[in-house]
Amino acid sequence: MVIYAFIPMDKIHASYYYRLLVPLQTMEVLGLPVEVLIDDCSPNINPDRRRDGLMWSDIVWMYQATDPLLRHNMQIVNNMNAAKGQDDKIWYPANFIVDTDDDLFNVSPLNWAFRGLGIKDANGNMLPPSRSLDDPTKLSYFDREGNVVGQWVDGKDGFNIVDNITKLENYRTLCQSAGIMTCSTPDTEAYAKREMGKKLKTFINPNGIRFDHYQDVALAPHKEIRIMWQGSNTHYEDFYSIHKALGRVAHKYPETKFVFWGEKFGKLTDEIPRDQFEFIPWMPYDTYHLRLVTVGPDINLCPLLDTPFGSSRSAIKWYEASLLHDPAATIAQRTGAYKAEIEHGKTGMLYDTEAEFEEHLCNLIENEKLRRELGANAKDWVHENRDAFKLAPKLFEFFTQVRDEKRETTEIEVPDAVVSSEQPDICAS
């Protein structure tokens, strides 16, 4: 089976890594009969080879693509018949599969991604395009430090409602043309069917962990209790819901150290004494795994508001904190995948309100035994349910089913120009 995937290796981030790269690499390591062709999206790819990959691979797999040209090419391939080559080999047109792990149609104005995807206000109402600065569409927004710096204004500073609507309609049409989507969670699958139609063929492929991608580092004991939050500015509204509680807890327990990795959130962290605050900036993703195993968190924080966008997110922050040599105990909001996967009091602590969050955090700070039990149980759960070596064969079976169904229903014809039997060598796998 030839699988052709778009992965911009020079801009790779967690989604590309977990959603595409880990499953494909794991299939190869397991020795499954796949030939993986990675298109790094660079202009150095020969256009003819890219064309062959798009037309004749068994599976073309892409992450949340919105390119209208790609959509156009997909529609052409979908109308193709199979072709017989000179050596009587039958070439079947590709099956297109779009992967998703975010509800792009419900990005919050407080999310930095709103600039390029925002089409609704904070209440979920569609925004009317308004290019007149006398009557602009205005919504509060924040810089990457989490400080309020102004308002989203249609047609200004890169925010354009018409462009965003067009982009999302391209995405919708592209997904409908593919007709098949892989989704990270049941809630993600639900949004995909809501937006693309109930006839959409879907497969839930959870984010899988490659334990061998993380060194098993036993850190020296530390006296301070290290409390980690990590993520991007897209979690501003999630973090806002607990920031006051963190300040109170920091003053109550001077032995704590709050480790923020990715974003500082500006003034929202001012209540935490500076000697109890540690910041780790973002870094190239190829160094992320090694850095994670050296942080040494005792407690892992996963706030996530119960919004359409939040509910579509996976519990990857919980998985990562649980795979460490000494796994952290996680406190997560009772939302989406956290609600579905964490067993409260056994593999983590769940909360609904700020007061409940604060109570759990204080309890874990004071109770080392509970922290260790929660972390150990979570690690066992991730091993059993989210190990990529257990998930990849199921995804391969789905790809095989998709390929075989296409072959059974596709007519075969001999074109005037006979197809070459040379395999597309687009890039290294």
Find the length of the chain.
429
End-to-end CA gap in the chain? 13
Q: How confident is the model at residue 420 (pLDDT cuts 50, 70, 90)?
A: very low
Cβ pair 337, 312 in contact under 8 A = no
Considering just the CA atoms, what is the radius of gyration of the chain in Å? Answer: 23
How sure is the predictor about 141, in pLDDT bands with cuts at 50, 70 and 90?
Answer: low
Q: What is the mean pLDDT of residues 256-260?
A: 97
* Residue range 7-51, pLDDT digits in tens: 987 777 889 999 999 999 999 999 999 999 999 888 888 888 888
Which amino acid appears at position 411 of this protein? E
Residues 50 and 192: their CA atoms lie apart, in Å, by 28
- Encode burial over 7-43: b for 16+ CB neighbours within 10 A, e otherwise: beeeebebbbbbbbbbbbbbbeeeebebebbbbbeee
Regarding beta strands 59-63 and 82-84, do their DSSP bridges make them parallel or antiparallel, or are they unpaired? unpaired
Q: Which pLDDT score is estimated for 266?
A: 78
- pLDDT, tens digit (0-9, with 9 covering 90-100), for 179-214: 999 999 999 999 999 999 989 999 999 999 999 999
Tens digits of per-residue pLDDT, 142-155?
A: 655 556 666 888 88
Distance CA 304, CA 314 (A): 10
Residue 427 has pLDDT above 60, yes or no: no
The side-by-side arrangement of strands in the sheet containing 2-6 is 35-39, 2-6, 59-63, 95-100, 180-183, 201-204
Tokens of 201: 């063929």
Q: Give the residue-averaged pLDDT of 352-367.
A: 98
Listed in sequence order, the residues at least 6 apart from 307 whose beta carbon sits closer than 8 Å to its beta carbon are 106, 108, 237
How large a percentage of the chain has pLDDT more than 70?
Answer: 92
Instruction: Give which of 426, 421, 422 is closest to 46, Cα–Cα.
Output: 426
pLDDT for 144: 52
| Helices and strands per DSSP (H, E), number in the chain | 16, 17
Q: Output the pLDDT for position 142.
A: 61
**pLDDT for the residue numbered 258:** 97
Q: Give whole-number Cα distances, 154 to 103, 109, 233, in Å.
A: 22, 12, 21
Q: What does the block give as tokens for 153?
A: 């204004």
Separation of alpha carbons 37 and 360, rounded Å: 47
Answer yes or no: are the C-beta atoms of 309 and 111 closer than 8 Å: yes
Percent of the chain with pLDDT over 90: 64
Condensed to tens digits (0 to 9), the pLDDT of residues 89-132 reads 888 999 999 999 999 999 988 887 899 999 998 788 898 887 55
Residue of 236 and 325 predicted with greater confidence: 325
Using the structure block, give the residue that is written with the tokens 């509060």: 140
For residues 207 and 336, what is the distance between their CA atoms, to the nearest angstrom? Answer: 14
pLDDT band at 69; cut points 50, 70, 90: confident
Mean pLDDT for the stretch of residues 333-361: 97
Q: How many other C-beta atoms are found inside a 10 Å radius of the C-beta of residue 46?
A: 12
- Identify the pLDDT of residue 12: 79
* pLDDT over 60 at 384, yes or no: yes
Q: What is the pLDDT of residues 264-311, one digit of tens each?
A: 887 888 899 999 999 999 888 778 899 999 999 999 999 999 988 999
3-state class (DSSP) for residue 292? helix
From CA 3, how far away is CA 29, in angstroms rounded?
15
Please spell the DSSP secondary structure of 115-178, one letter per residue. Answer: HHH--B-TTSPBPPP---TTS--EEEEE-TTS-EEEEEETTBTTB-HHHHHHHHHHHHHHHHHH
pLDDT confidence tier of residue 254, bands split at 50, 70 and 90: very high
Query: Does pLDDT of 417 surpass 70?
Result: no
Q: What is the predicted pLDDT for the residue at 42?
A: 82
User: In angstroms, rounded to a whole number, what is the distance separating the alpha carbons of residues 193 and 253?
Assistant: 47
Q: What is the pLDDT at residue 137? A: 64
pLDDT digits (tens, 9 = 90+) for 76-90: 999 888 988 777 888
Mean pLDDT across the chain, nearest whole number? 89
Distance CA 133, CA 392 (A): 51
